Amino acid sequence: MAMWDRIKDQAKGLQQQAQGARGASSGGHGRPGSGSSGGSKAQLVNTLKSQLTSLKTELKSGAYRDASMAMCALVAAADGHVDPAERQHVESLILNNDVLQNFPSEQLRQRFNKHVDQLAFNFQQGKAEVLQEIAKAAKKPTEARAVVQTGFVVAGADGYVAPAEEQALREACSVLNLSPQEFGL
């Protein structure tokens, strides 16, 4: 449990830095999240990625694998659709993720694509099914946090976490009984 306390402290520190940067740059122009707070989000994504890698040996369960694939699909489809290029990009991120290499790539690809297909066919119903899959990781707090971290890493891979992606991450936190503030959301 001490490791998670350290991780929480790091996340809180980054969140406070991001809030301070937003306060210092208020009145600026551009999209939300641009400027110095965008750099803080990138910092947070890098920190979460490092934390996940440090937990690689603990994250080998089927529940983590399945919930992470559901999380990745939800983030990819957060705006209501997934174009083929985006699907391929997220699939590449999954297959090259250090922690997810604990699992056979075909299992990851199959589960991710199943969830994306559900979301593409009927977004609301697919979203409910994906959230049910994510919720199965709630039994183990380390895995639950890792699922959100995995989603955050995928969402922030392009250097920007879109509002729809942040909302998807918040919803995942809710079904996993985690505080979104723990992740700077």
pLDDT tens-place values along the chain, 185 residues long: 444 455 455 545 544 444 443 343 333 333 333 333 445 666 666 666 666 665 677 788 889 899 999 999 999 999 888 888 888 888 888 988 888 888 999 999 999 999 999 999 999 999 999 999 999 999 999 999 999 988 988 888 777 888 999 999 999 999 999 999 888 77
Ordered domains of the chain (ranges, CATH): 59-185 (1.10.3680)
To which residue do tokens 């890698």 refer?
A: 53
What phi and psi, each to the nearest 5 degrees, are found at residue 77?
-100, 15
Residue with tokens 């066919």: 121
- 3-state secondary structure string, the chain? CHHHHHHHHHHHHHHHHHHHHHHHCCCCCCCCCCCHHHHHHHHHHHHHHHHHHHCHHHCCCHHHHHHHHHHHHHHHCCCCCCCHHHHHHHHHHHHHCCCHHHCCHHHHHHHHHHHHHHHHHCHHHHHHHHHHHHHHHHHCHHHHHHHHHHHHHHHHHHCCCCHHHHHHHHHHHHHCCCCHHHHCC
Q: What is the pTM of this model?
A: 0.72
Contact 126, 119 (CB under 8 A): yes
